[in-house]
Amino acid sequence: MTHNQPSNVVQPNNLNHQLELLNTQQQQQQQHLHSSTSSLLNRRQPYIGTSTTPNLELRKPELFDSPPTSNHRLSLDNEPPFLPTHNHPIRPSLNTNSRHHNHHNNKRFNVHVLTLLPAFALGLFISYTFNPLKSISISNNHYIQPILEKTPILKGIIIKPKEIDLNLNEDYIYFNSNLNPIKELIKQSKVKWDAKIKKQSKNLNEAIKEYKKRYHNRNPPLGFDKWFDWCLKNDIILIDEFDRIFELIEPFWAISPHVIRNRSEQAGLGEVHSIFRIKDGKVKVEGKRKDDARTKDQLNLLEGFVKYLPDVNITMSHHDGPSVFLDYKTKLKHLKHARAGTVIPDEEVDIVEDDAGLTGFVGACAPDSPMRMYANGLLEPPPSGVGFIGLDHSRTMDLCLHPEWQSLHGFTSWQGPRPGLLTPIFSFSQSSSFSNDILISPLEQFSDLNLNLKQYKSFKSKNETQKLMWRGKTTGVWFDREFNWRSSHRMRLHNLGKFNSTHQFRDLHIFNENDDQIKVERKKLNELVNRFLSVNFVGPLVQCSIKDGTCDAVKKEIEFGELVDWEFQNNHRYVLDVDGNSWSGRFRRLLGSDSLVFKSTIWPEWYRDLIQPWYHYIPVRIDYLDLFDLLSFFSTNPIHAENIANQGKDWVEKHFRYQDLQAYMWRTYLEYARVSSDDRLKMNFEL
């Protein structure tokens, strides 16, 4: 069975070969899923709505002990995502096929249980001594640094002493000798951003040509001309940069349109969903969340362009996090059919390539990805070191490429969900590595639209010139005895900010303004904390289990700070944005305040292709190992900090307007309307 698809679709050279390899490993019996949405999406439930909603379905997470990664690189040119292009050091496998293995000694040995006690005691000692995630009685003095010191870190290609041109494909950039890569990252980010601005299409013909070039010679969707004309009139600057939408929609080309619509309707019956029915240029809402604030926000957004949309039904999730999880084999199967111009036969479309040994996040990754190879014991731990995120922040958010942060983030510090079917759910969070939702944007971040931007202090007039400011609630993890919540991203940040031991040291790289060299000084960690950090939880405590006593335990370990007003944040030159339960609702406000924003996240948001790290904001590692070196650099080089802060504010005013979000959502609706239509060819736009 085929759908209407151009015959000259580009196919990667290694796609068929990879599929043949996977088919030889396919299970003999396939698992059919139950028809209900709750069974289809057998997963950890993300948090819903308010920040106090607990995660009630999380049970006994199996943590990966800070797995290491290698110099993994994924080619992005003319290759579908998730295809293996890795080259890792492999441990030689043991040959167990010897014929001598058939001759066993069948004598029985009786071993008294007491003789096993020494081995048991030794095992406990080794586990306690060398486990970086051991749960200990925590004080502000003794938690954060052991985690930072023992977590294996990705090692990229080291910059040679006389070479400071950065490889733009590197995920992390490291110090080598006495060269500081920060200045080069800032320089290269400007080059990359200027080039992106310069190459945008100026008219409809150019836009269609660029669309076909990027998306395998496919025509744009019906209504593309009206969308493009509206974008020009509303000053949408990066008019070609919507690769994210195509990536999210592409797998659905492998499914028959009636199957897509049926799955959407089925999901819309859920407790946390609403259905937007668009017909004849008007929209009405159904579902159990039809009266929620987020539903009303999306309706207001639609008002500007709904009259231009084709008939289509949209199911939206009100979860903070993602809802759709595919395993790697199923994902690859969908991409193969989508790019070949075929659809999965109806008798196979409800089959999940579920491997009981590869459930959760590991099963979502390619066989030769760092995540899978570490789980299989095939990946040698690389040398560790403190490095900075490179020019592509989103690659370091990919768990398959960077499993080293899995246990350091509250959303991923468990085994992960079981895979389900590809279901068209529009959600507020999406990860390229472990979820397949269609990404939309929450509009809570536009609640400050009426705030007069002139009230923001300029970067130079902000009085706090050293400390990085963050305040937040205890979201981002569910606090109970089954979770290693002490390793979650916000809890580690809190513990770092309260660190007061005088017995731990670390190297601080200090930049010399007169040249490009740096010097290294050994500093007490508590002195660096006091100098550079102003981070605090603010109460009350949320998302904790009263029944098992965890609420009381957490209260004993957290020193809550006082609530601060907007003026307090406005007075800081340096502000930090970290994940809560999922996406950040404050990023737009922080960038618009003319402060330098430091951002640590695992969630690439809708504007992924519209922003440039190191030019508009400073990307920060999940383990926070780079924080002090970054703050040391910018506090002693305020001109760089001021420039990036100004550029971030300018980006908000030009690229994070309400109209920019409308352009993104309008384009998303057009793409989905086509792929869910029975006549996909008719839904193409052609001049």
Q: With contact defined as beta carbons under 8 Å apart, do 14 and 83 qualify?
A: yes
The pLDDT tens digits of the residues spanning 275-334 come to 999 999 999 999 999 999 999 999 999 999 999 999 999 999 999 999 999 999 999 999
CA distance 506 to 518: 16
Please name the residue ranges forming H helices in 511-626.
Answer: 525-532, 550-557, 566-570, 587-592
Burial class (CB in 10 A: 0-12, 13-18, 19+), 664: buried
**What is the enclosing helix (H) or strand (E) of 276?**
strand 273-279
Task: Give the fold, CATH level 3, of 445-661.
Answer: Rossmann fold (3.40.50)
Structural tokens at position 159: 């910059």
| Residue the block writes with tokens 């939702």 | 437
Residue 218 has φ and ψ, to the nearest 5°, of: -80, 145
pLDDT number for residue 513 = 66
Domain ranges for the chain = 445-661
CA distance 322 to 435: 6
CA distance 499 to 518: 26
**Which amino acid is residue 406, in one-letter code?**
Q
Q: With contact defined as beta carbons under 8 Å apart, do 623 and 153 qualify?
A: yes
pLDDT number for residue 448 = 61
- DSSP lists the bridge partners of residue 506 as 523
Q: With contact defined as beta carbons under 8 Å apart, do 573 and 596 qualify?
A: yes
Strands 351-352 and 596-600, sheet pairing: unpaired
pLDDT number for residue 566 = 85
Strands 533-537 and 464-472, sheet pairing: parallel
Structural tokens at position 489: 């991203």
CA distance 619 to 597: 9
Intervals of the chain under pLDDT 70: 1-116, 119-121, 123-170, 173-179, 356, 380-386, 447-454, 513-516
Find the radius of gyration of the CA atoms of the chain: 26
Q: ω into residue 540 within 30 of 0, thus cis?
A: yes
pLDDT number for residue 99 = 36
pLDDT number for residue 186 = 95
- DSSP lists the bridge partners of residue 617 as 613
Report how far apart, in Å, the C-alpha atoms of 201 and of each of 211, 215, 242, 587 are: 10, 15, 13, 28
- DSSP lists the bridge partners of residue 2 as 342
pLDDT number for residue 356 = 67
Structural tokens at position 175: 């110090």
The pLDDT tens digits of the residues spanning 134-156 come to 332 233 333 333 333 333 333 33
Residue 465 CB neighbour total at 10 angstroms: 13
C-alpha angle 63/64/66, rounded to 5°? Answer: 120
